Chain A
Amino acid sequence: MEHRELERSVDAALRAQPMRRAPPGLTARVLEQIERRRAAPWWRKGFLHWPWAARGGLLLASAAAAGLAVAATTWLAEAVRSAPVPEALGRFASALHGAATLASTLGRTAAELLPAASPALLHFAAIGAMLAYALVFGIGAIAYRTLYLNR
């Protein structure tokens, strides 16, 4: 069938299609939902449905929280600038340095070993990595289906 002819035939067939009949329970579902929404307490509705006092209270509380956050940040920055680095921070920085050194050593070793390895070994390693990934993926999927979907 030609493009134009096909378009015309499909268009005619679809335009002649009457509306589908809605399921008989739809109106009841809608009314029930409206009733449920009306019965919900104000704090479970959207912000625009809250009483004026509650809206004003939330805005004031938000402004106070923002002010406190700014004041706390300023105070913390000032304290860090004026005091020596606490011991805990020093330990954290040292652990970070250790991890960076380890990663760098591993990277250097891999760079030296890889050119020497045979292509077959590399292929096996790649396949092994993919299989391990698929295994973890499969375990995740099974766990999701079993623990989450069947709740």
Chain B
Amino acid sequence: MPVVNDDWSSPGRWAPAKVAWGVTRDGDQLRFCRLTTRGRTSCWMVSPEEFLAGAEPAERLRLDLRGGARLVAGLPPSVALLRTLESPFSDPGKTREIRDSLLDAALPFSLEDCVTSFLPSQSRDESIRLPAIAARLADLKNTLKTWSDLGLDPELLVPEALLLPAGGNRACVWIGEHRTLFAREAKEGGLVCGGASGVARDGRALSRFFASADEAPEIQWIGPGGDSEPDFLERLLARAGLGMEPLGLNLRADVLAHPRLAKRHRGMLRRWGGVAAGIFLLAAVSPWGIRAAYARRLAQLDRQVAEVFHETTGFRSPAPGWERLLLERHAEEAWGAVSDARESLVSSTVATELADLLLAAQFTGVSVRSLRVADEELAIEIQAPEPAANAMESRLRGLRPGVSWSREALEDERWRFVAEEGP
């Protein structure tokens, strides 16, 4: 049982057309309407014989169809049955699971032989009303054969009665040259619609239709035999072809689909599949790509570290990641003792201090009896009268800031000066 899905119920969303033709049979007449997206409308009524003979608008329709126009044919109520299903569940998901069984029970023929389409549901307190359209596959094929005999191959087949603007207490009756369509909203909700072969306003079918209503509805008579809008039906069919009708009502789908639309549908699925695959690849690949890019940069930096290490030490790093520590150890082992010795010699002040002491002794005129100069030790012993010793002490204090001198008096005018740390 083919169920018309959202894609096929309104192909205008994914296969838009700029020009659409609506066509319907009215007895032995064909009613055409041409509609463009800019709103230009042209309508014709011809007999099948005239149409086959090439009368207007046959040639124009042929040219438009070659240019990509969409042809939409109406399905009479005798082919497309409307049923309003009552689901015992208020949950749309559960209703979706049982809707086929409900529809099967509501149809006079097997559901397996039908093409069905479900319209938007109406939620009630504890149930859901679900309008559904069903048409037998054989009837649809016969319809297509009928159009094919006229050289036409409509892309969409739309139930005509569903196009009638009925709602509230208002009923709509379309009266053609040879047949009638009618629709009204049922009291308990949902649409009631039907058709008849006559055009009399007081015909039996119409009388029964109105009598079934609880209260007399307000009736709108439209169509060529009505009070207004003679081209209403074919114009709305054309509007459905342009995707202007809110409800998607096409029943020519899947196995019955028009080859051109079927091809575009496959292309659309491929495009969406490509987009999905692209997104999936992006999702799957991008983290790895980023990781790979970072890995390349990290490897480059690691190589630079290894090169610096090799240039400095002459051998390869035995433990990548520990180069700094290994270099420190290498420097300490290879150069540490040398650097320490050099530093010690460069910073030695023995020579300077010795020269300073001798200069101070010479300046103050004292006699140096002994001296001891080392890195940690500085002592001088002089022999001089006390005033000269005082001058020597004063001189010594000026030599080294931060160094204090202790002075010890010895026998025979001898004095010992020893440097001590601190002021």
A and B interact physically: no
> Residues of B with Cβ closer than 8 Å to A?
none
